[in-house]
Amino acid sequence: MKKCKYCLKQKQLSEFPKHSGHRDGHAAICKQCKKKKYPTTAEQKQRAYERNIKRNYGITVDDYNAMYESQGGLCLGCKRGNNGSRFHIDHCHTTGEVRGLLCSKCNAALGLLEDNIETLSNLIVYLSYGSTPKGE
């Protein structure tokens, strides 16, 4: 027997999907709840995505599409296309303001640098000279 973390009901282990990362070899959410919680059809996934960007960024899919078009379908960082995947919605973690759309690599780079302009400037200088300029 195991308690589902979603519906909180005690159920047989056979009612849980297998999951090697758990001690008992079964997931924490039962099969029935997993069907409810996680979207499976393309339509359900699209609705979940729409809810997610509205909740997390305060924008609609139309807003996203308008940004995409205004950027010419290119990442604001590297100016490359997205190869069929969605761009990340970049936002200021302090104000919550949406800044634009970035590819995975540019979004990760900003995140790792914690949006620190000084660090980014130092790295630009470093790349420009191949190393730290002499005398600095």
The pLDDT, as a whole number, for residue 41 is 80
Average pLDDT over residues 28-47: 83
pLDDT at 136 over 70: no
**Looking at per-residue confidence, does 22 or 74 come out higher?**
74
- Across the strands, what pairs with 101? 89
Domain ranges of the chain: 2-37, 42-129
pLDDT at 133 over 70: no
Which of 98-101's residues contact partners 24+ apart within 8 Å by CB, and which partners?
A: 98/57, 98/58, 98/59, 98/67, 100/67, 100/71, 100/76, 101/64, 101/67, 101/68, 101/71, 101/75, 101/76
pLDDT at 132 over 60: no
Average pLDDT over residues 35-60: 86
The CATH number, out of the four listed (3.40.1800.10, 3.40.50.170, 3.10.20.600, 3.40.50.800), of the domain defined by the range 42-129: 3.40.1800.10
Q: What is the pTM of this model?
A: 0.67
